[in-house]
Structure 1
Amino acid sequence: MNKRLFALAAACACGAANAQSSVTLYGVVDVNVEYVNHVGAVPQAGNGYNPGPPQTVFRENSGGYSGSRWGLRGVEDLGGGLKSIFVLENGFNADTGTLQQGGRMFGRQAFVGLDTRFGVFTFGRQYQSIFSTMANFVPARYATQYEPTGVVAGANFRQDNTVKYSGTFGPFTAQADWSFGVGTTLPSTYPTVPTAGGAGEVPGQFRRDSAYGVALSYLAGPVGLGIGYDQWNPTIGTGNGTFKKAVVMASYAFNDTAKLMGGYRWGQNKDPGGTTILRDDFYWIGGQYRFSSALDFTLEYDYQNVKNLGGNNGVANPWQIALIADYAFSKRTDVYLTTAYSRNAGLAMESAASGFATSLALGNSYALANGQKSMFGAALGIRHVF
């Protein structure tokens, strides 16, 4: 019996040694010092939707150009063209050492899946399909500080309880996702716009806080094209709303020096009774320019046409222009200057039409104070990638 057990253990050890597997530790630490003017409090029911008087802010932040994070990425070759994969990615505030994403241990991403000949199937907390696809078409590359990610992709751009598929076929990449419960909540920041969202996955309420989306991109040579659709069904009162977004986008690269990008996003949010909470159109255009092997610039212009906000058809349309200069000391360490000017909204296009999603997520207000129409911000930071 002992000989047979020893032989079995040896065979298992040999099999483990022959299997090709790896686990990679990676991360980013990004900290900057920032100046912002005309800052008020995020309007909510508790303060009577009153942002208060304007303040000038000097502060240290985490995640100006990239969100500070660390993660584990693993892969095991199972043979026959099949691999198992996982990602656990933590988001943290480098200035305070605290967790981001509502205190989640792995709030940025946490999923496991299979990489097959037909595509990649993953299960867990993941990015929605249109967010992943737009990464190739947004000039600022989701730079955390002033990028209006929550406006263009929706506050549900990260989703709990998600099944996702991604497949690449030549120049085409197709993605699709379904969330059984997004896990995002947007508090009321405007008197006629209710709180939306919740935990989801409630027995007997399959639609509650669910979401789904699809996206398709084409990248060949200098040309890039993309389309996508996303729908989130957040809890509103005792029912479910319907938040829809559709996007088209394009890019064109000029050798390795410059790239032009732009897109259009249609949006419509309705409450459980079908009343419009928000109807808007969002446009962006900009580009990236590599001045040298160490220095590059990014310019992005964003415009939001707010057609209806909680029954108000006369909302001033927000817009923003942002400029980023980045200088690399090495492949792992760089310094950057990021600046932005916004009109009819705070930086990152923060307004009631966005639910002040960026301010609430980061814990730093970019809400416009009473009597203000514009905001300017600038931040000087350092980033190290490992």
Structure 2
Amino acid sequence: MKTRVLVLSALTSMGGTALAQSSVTMYGVLDTPIEYVNNVARGVPSVVNGQLVPQPGGKRFSMVTAGLSSPRWGLRGQETLGGGLSALFVLEGGFGVDTGVATSNRLFGRQAYVGLRGPYGRLTFGRQYTSIFEGFSNFTPTRYAVLYEPIAWQLGVNYRSDNMVKYLGTFGRLTASAHYTFGAGTGVLGTTALANGGGGETPGNFRDNTGYGASLTYTDGKFGATAVYDEWRPTITTGQPGRVRKFGGALSYDFGAIKAMAGYRWNRSSFANSNTLIRDDYWWAGVNYRAMPALGLSLAYFYADIKEARLNATAPGTEPANPWQVTFIADYDLSKRTDVYLTTAYARNAGLNFDSSPISFANGYFPTAGQKGMFGVAIGVRHRF
């Protein structure tokens, strides 16, 4: 049951007039699966003489930190200011239910922002999701599932950024988002660490690790369409930013029991010397099917056409095999807040979730030597409060 704390503030003058009303809500998600994966290495591959050297590995059977959702807890609040204006905030931290340990070194590493909301939208300041995340959020068949969706490949490892100013507004059937970050706080580009941990805000070098983007989404209850753009300036050497650009679009249609969707994302990620980290075209398609009132099924296909890739700014360019993945989810609702699920995926030419050097091996599905395919399956339980 959702915990809700309602605080009514009455700042009283001699006339006893109430000037403001505010509320704070605690919320969260607990999600714990048990997973089997084959052909997974023990750790991140090393880079020797410009070549990846995978670690040995094999099958893995374990309880993992997240399944369909990332476990989290948070506080959100608002205060009515009058005249259609209100203040708002969100503080949200992630953790693993399997150990209780925070998933980053931050207390509120998922979101931490404050802002104002009015008749024409909201303006917020702090650690938030980028506009490309907002734009594609209703057009992904596996709903940004931790197991198994190539979210970092699709959106970029900077899809959650620090130091951000963001606008989000809804006007009838249209939703618009735009953001600017003074320093994304993402620490790596491929296999190379960024200056100042990717934090940006460097005196004399304003563009270091900055980013911006926008999205525009249309929905009418059945048909949906979105267009997105994202740019990030990752900086390995202070004063010499690289450039990562993404743009794309997606469509969806709700037939009732079945919702179908498909999308495309273009990407070029370049170092400061203009050499390409990766240039790829990424496609996906899938369906959500409500087989029974309590049972939902999802099927998704993801594919990347890699034109060029390299390990670091001076390594030779290559054209590796194109990764693809098929994902299936069966999710059964025990109540409005609790569900059990089975999720499974097979990836080819990369680790699951397209885990590879262009996304800094962000997902933990490290390929083994000579590995072509990787299979994973998990069962879990999720509760929302």
2:200 counterpart residue number: 200
Aligned match for 2:114, one of 112, 115, 120: 112
State the SS of the aligned residue for 1:370.
coil
- Distance of aligned partners of 1:9 and 1:31 in 2 relative to their CA distance in 1, 3 Å threshold: closer
State the SS of the aligned residue for 1:378.
strand
Residue 49 of structure 1: how far off its partner (Å): 3.0
> Could you report, residue by residue, the CA deviation over 1:325-362 in whole angstroms, capped at 9, with x for unpaired residues?
10111011110111000000110111223321222xxx
State the SS of the aligned residue for 2:138.
coil
2:86 counterpart residue number: 83
1:21 counterpart residue number: 22
- Distance of aligned partners of 1:301 and 1:15 in 2 relative to their CA distance in 1, 3 Å threshold: farther
Distance 1:268 1:203 in 2: 28
The one-letter amino acid of 2:37's match is V
Aligned length in residues: 366
Contact 1:306 1:353 in 2 (8 A): no
Distance 1:320 1:114 in 2: 41
Aligned match for 2:61, one of 42, 58, 74: 58
Residue 200 of structure 1: how far off its partner (Å): 1.1
State the SS of the aligned residue for 2:64.
strand
Q: What does 1:89-108 correspond to in 2, within 5 Å?
A: 89-100=92-103, 102-108=104-110
Distance 1:235 1:117 in 2: 38
Q: What does 1:38-187 correspond to in 2, within 5 Å?
A: 38-40=39-41, 41-45=43-47, 49-100=52-103, 102-186=104-188
State the SS of the aligned residue for 2:53.
coil
Contact 2:232 2:245 in 1 (8 A): yes
Distance 1:77 1:287 in 2: 40
State the SS of the aligned residue for 1:212.
strand
Q: What is the aligned-residue identity percentage?
A: 49
Distance 2:16 2:211 in 1: 44
Distance 2:369 2:106 in 1: 34
Q: What does 1:257-272 correspond to in 2, within 5 Å?
A: 257-272=257-272
State the SS of the aligned residue for 1:367.
coil
Distance 1:62 1:271 in 2: 33
State the SS of the aligned residue for 1:132.
helix
The one-letter amino acid of 1:368's match is P
1:250 counterpart residue number: 251
Distance 1:187 1:335 in 2: 36
Contact 2:130 2:213 in 1 (8 A): yes
- Distance of aligned partners of 1:285 and 1:188 in 2 relative to their CA distance in 1, 3 Å threshold: closer
Contact 2:190 2:358 in 1 (8 A): no
1:293 counterpart residue number: 293
Residue 171 of structure 1: how far off its partner (Å): 0.5
> Could you report, residue by residue, the CA deviation over 1:206-226 in whole angstroms, capped at 9, with x for unpaired residues?
101000000000001310000
The one-letter amino acid of 2:246's match is K
The one-letter amino acid of 2:22's match is S
Distance 1:12 1:278 in 2: 67
Contact 1:246 1:267 in 2 (8 A): yes
Q: CA RMSD, aligned part only?
A: 1.8
Normalising by structure 2, report the TM-score: 0.91
The one-letter amino acid of 1:369's match is T
Distance 2:373 2:14 in 1: 66
State the SS of the aligned residue for 1:130.
helix
Unmatched 5+ residue regions in structure 2? 1-9, 311-315
> Could you report, residue by residue, the CA deviation over 1:230-249 in whole angstroms, capped at 9, with x for unpaired residues?
00001123411000000111
- Distance of aligned partners of 1:62 and 1:218 in 2 relative to their CA distance in 1, 3 Å threshold: same
- Distance of aligned partners of 1:212 and 1:14 in 2 relative to their CA distance in 1, 3 Å threshold: farther
Compare 125-134 and 307-316 and name the one that shifted more: 307-316
- 1:368 partnered with 2:367: yes
Contact 2:189 2:234 in 1 (8 A): no
Contact 2:173 2:219 in 1 (8 A): yes
State the SS of the aligned residue for 2:139.
coil
> Could you report, residue by residue, the CA deviation over 1:168-189 in whole angstroms, capped at 9, with x for unpaired residues?
1110001000000100112654
- 1:333 partnered with 2:338: yes
State the SS of the aligned residue for 1:315.
coil
The one-letter amino acid of 1:142's match is Y
1:5 counterpart residue number: none
Distance 1:373 1:73 in 2: 44
2:227 counterpart residue number: 227
Distance 2:170 2:190 in 1: 40
Residue 195 of structure 1: how far off its partner (Å): 3.5
Distance 2:181 2:135 in 1: 17
- 1:33 partnered with 2:38: no
State the SS of the aligned residue for 2:320.
coil
1:362 counterpart residue number: none
Residue 273 of structure 1: how far off its partner (Å): 1.9
Distance 1:111 1:216 in 2: 22
Residue 133 of structure 1: how far off its partner (Å): 1.5
Contact 1:44 1:188 in 2 (8 A): no
State the SS of the aligned residue for 2:55.
coil
Normalising by structure 1, report the TM-score: 0.91
1:377 counterpart residue number: 376
State the SS of the aligned residue for 1:358.
coil
Residue 141 of structure 1: how far off its partner (Å): 0.4
